[in-house]
Amino acid sequence: MLGETLSSIIEACRPREGILQGTFNPEVFTASLSQVVAHYRGRRGRIDNLYTDADQFFRDGTAPTDGIKFVLREALLRLSGDNSAPAIYRLETAFGGGKTHTLIALTHLAIRGRELTEAAVPLIDETPLPSPGECNVAGIAGDELAVHRPQGPELVPYTLWGEIAFQIGGEALYKAIGEDATATAAPGSTYFDTVFKGRKALVLLDELAQYAARLEAARPNGAEQLAAFLLALHGYARTHSGLVVVVTLASQADAFARQTRRIVDLLSQVRGTPISEAEAEAIAQRAGHDTQSVVARDATPVVPVQAAELSHVLAKRLFAAVDPSAARAAAENYRELYARSSAALPDEAARPDFQGRIRSHYPFHPTFLQFLNSKLSTVETFQGTRGVLRLLALVVRNIWTKQQRVPMIHTAHVDLRDPRIVDEILGRTRSGELKTVLDTDVGGPDTGSLAIGRSRAEIADGRNPHPAGFALHELAWRTVFLHSLVGRADWGPKSSASPNVTRCSKRPFPA
């Protein structure tokens, strides 16, 4: 258990005002490449200024991770004519790891160029930026691009190659490529010279896995033609200066597992009739095979946000300031604490590198982020990064409102007596039937209304109180309860068993 000698994050960190006032909106951090591109083309959207205001985007919304810095520097070098830099990149990550965020950063830098030198220095160092307007950008969200001919007189491309030409050179270039603009078959070499020759161009393809699945659902061999186009595009980019291609492409298995409902809905819309999850999965797998092969073979893989950097991203979004000296002190205090209690802790707590992990994850304990990243965020209905930010905002506000003197934020500090936190967690994980279990066994918002007025954890703490006054049983049971919410669908019939007998694959860290 954490000792009284550890300093509190209350003095070391300053949450953003929106967190403390309860006005924080995690939807602000819902990145949309298409809306940023539309903003530069003079079309107003609903996206927050954090993304459309490039200076604010780099100052307040972007953590300088190694992966993001690598892609920005190398892509800009390639655009400047340095052919030693890769021409094709594949962004991949499992958890809200900045894929679309990186594409938006590239959009700003390619379009505004040297105007953003000061704002972008932490990310690009001395990498040369183009002159404003020197580069052409095609930024395409694969889950939004039409796969059928749209109705109406307005020119709306409905092939990937037509959309790229339209974004690079407008209606004139779209018409210049002739029948290729609307052909269902991938265009030939003339297309690439017409669209790219003599131009500096950045082609950004977001959510390509979803586009491949929708295209395959729309017409026979749609995904095969997409793969043929990507193969030709990559070949052209490798042999021509000033052209960079960046793709985000999760594996089909990962994409389907995490977004099952959305993919089923998207493919049903394309077909015009409802389809089953099994049929949607078969289409996604069939569509992804060739596309995956082309991208995996040609592209330089980059993970924009590594697991160890996740804390920096979350802290950037939730806190206005975090004292680095407090992080160093906390790491040393935890090292001493864990050394004294090593026999009761998992092996990782005694490893030499764990002190560094504590310092780099501050003010979040590494095991809390591991729970969020590896468990809670994998629940489809939790909404990944948005869900985590929404929960963390409530947790941080709860800690500061109650002035809880905690040394780091652990899983046990998710206050399950706070109605808003409980509604968020049980609602997003579809575990509302466990509300009674929470109130009765652990301690929830309605525990006080029970006949006995206390939870079983409270009773246990009363019978065996911790010397320092910590509610040891409630904190420990709270941790187990939260871990038990993940993967419940795989257990068969849902159980109303108490958290102390719920199946857990690993022993949780002490609260």
- 317-327, pLDDT tens digit by residue? 899 999 999 99
Q: Which residue has the tokens 């493919």?
A: 267
Q: Mean pLDDT across the chain, nearest whole number? A: 86
Phi and psi angles of residue 389, each rounded to the nearest 5 degrees, phi first: -65, -40
Cβ-contact 415, 444 below 8 angstroms? no
Query: Rounded to the nearest 10 degrees, what angle do helices 208-218 and 277-298 cross at?
Result: 120
pLDDT > 90? residue 311 = no
Q: What is the pLDDT at residue 48?
A: 62
Q: What percentage of the chain has pLDDT greater than the value 70?
A: 87
Coil, helix or strand at residue 314: helix
Over residues 410-431, mean pLDDT:
94
**What whole-number distance in Å separates Cα of residue 91 and Cα of residue 305?**
10
Which domains, and CATH codes, for the chain?
9-24+310-501 (no CATH), 64-302 (3.40.50.300)
DSSP single-letter state for residue 497: -
Query: Please, which residues have CB within 8 angstroms of residue 240's CB and are 6 or more apart in sequence?
Result: 196, 197
Q: Which of 168, 333, 176, 132 is nearest to 244 (CA)?
A: 168
- CA–CA separation, 268 vs 274, rounded Å? 5
Instruction: Let me know: does 175 contact 166? Beta carbons within 8 Å.
Output: no
CA distance linking residue 455 with residue 443, whole number of Å: 5
Average pLDDT, integer, range 46-66: 84
Task: Write out pLDDT tens, residues 355-407.
Answer: 999 999 999 999 998 898 878 877 767 767 778 888 999 999 999 999 999 99
Cα-Cα-Cα-Cα dihedral of 358, 362, 367, 370, to 10°? -120
Q: How far is CA 332 from the centre of its chain?
A: 30
User: Could you read off the pLDDT of 246-296 as tens digits, one per residue?
Assistant: 999 764 445 545 555 666 776 777 677 787 777 777 777 777 778 888 888
DSSP label at residue 303: -
* Edge-to-edge order in the sheet of strand 300-302: 135-141, 200-206, 243-248, 88-91, 300-302
Q: Is pLDDT of 87 > 70?
A: yes
**Beta carbons of 386 and 27 less than 8 angstroms apart:** yes
Q: Are 285 and 251 in contact (CB under 8 A)?
A: no
Backbone region of residue 492 per phi and psi (left: phi > 0; alpha: psi in -120 to 50; beta: other values): left
Q: Could you give the CA distance from residue 425 to residue 497 in angstroms, rounded to a whole number?
A: 18
